[in-house]
Structure 1
């Protein structure tokens, strides 16, 4: 199966030289996803809404690629304020408590833009029957 690139159509993907996801065989590698709300083209102020938006984008990308959220085997969470950890992890628990991928939470100095409070990247492996 050839490598396939998934794009949101954002011009930034071409400018920065990345894809929303790369599908390679039974694996889906999703780029770091921030809490941007593509329906309203805005970034929510609160970290809980941003985290929920991350999962909306992740799930939509996985679906487009023929995967499901249940296929996620690894997740990395990046936050800029340790005080946001409980709120972010609460949403992660809502979405992943039955899936339980290997996961890492990192507190970083900053993300690409100052209004970004969380970024999530995942790897999925297609399940075989």
Structure 2
């Protein structure tokens, strides 16, 4: 099975040693993705804005792999503060409402205290 590695250009990928996404056959595994704008390495203080940026980053990786958010079959959400999750629901519904993937949310600390949400997805290439 051929593997393709996709990078977002985030310095975290090189520092830690991972890919934004890995394509293995028809499967696309997108790493936990936070709300950093990788072009500027800026991150909003607002959890909803971070969630939106997460999905922009994930969508870019999926596009490069030949898929879209509509192809997501599994999603995992990690938030240090579980009470902030509900505020993100409209963003999650807007981006994944058609795909309706299997989902899980956990509350756990993240690498950088500025990070308020991290999203990991698995997608199956269309067709």
* Category of TM-score, reference length = shorter chain: over 0.9
TM-score by length of 2: 0.94
**Following TM superposition, by how much is the alpha carbon of 1:9 offset from its aligned partner in structure 2, in angstroms?**
2.5
Q: Distance in 2 between matches of 1:102 and 1:76?
A: 9
Aligned partner of 2:113 in structure 1 is: 114
**Following TM superposition, by how much is the alpha carbon of 1:39 offset from its aligned partner in structure 2, in angstroms?**
4.3
TM-score by length of 1: 0.92
Please give the secondary structure, in 2, of the residue aligned with 1:114.
coil
Structure 1 stretches of 4+ with a deviation exceeding 2 A read 9-12, 38-41
User: Alpha carbons of 1:11 and 1:38: their partners in 2 closer, same or farther (altered >3 Å)?
Assistant: closer
Aligned partner of 1:23 in structure 2 is: 23
Aligned partner of 1:56 in structure 2 is: 56
Higher strand share: 2
Number of aligned residue pairs: give it: 127
Aligned partner of 1:37 in structure 2 is: 37
**Following TM superposition, by how much is the alpha carbon of 1:13 offset from its aligned partner in structure 2, in angstroms?**
1.4
Q: Distance in 1 between matches of 2:42 and 2:74?
A: 27
Q: Distance in 2 between matches of 1:21 and 1:29?
A: 5
After TM superposition, the structure 1 stretch with the greater mean CA deviation from structure 2, 79-88 or 111-120, is 79-88
Aligned partner of 1:67 in structure 2 is: 67
* Structure 1 runs not aligned, ≥5 long: none
* Structure 2 runs not aligned, ≥5 long: none
After TM superposition, the structure 1 stretch with the greater mean CA deviation from structure 2, 77-86 or 45-54, is 77-86
Q: Distance in 1 between matches of 2:115 and 2:61?
A: 20
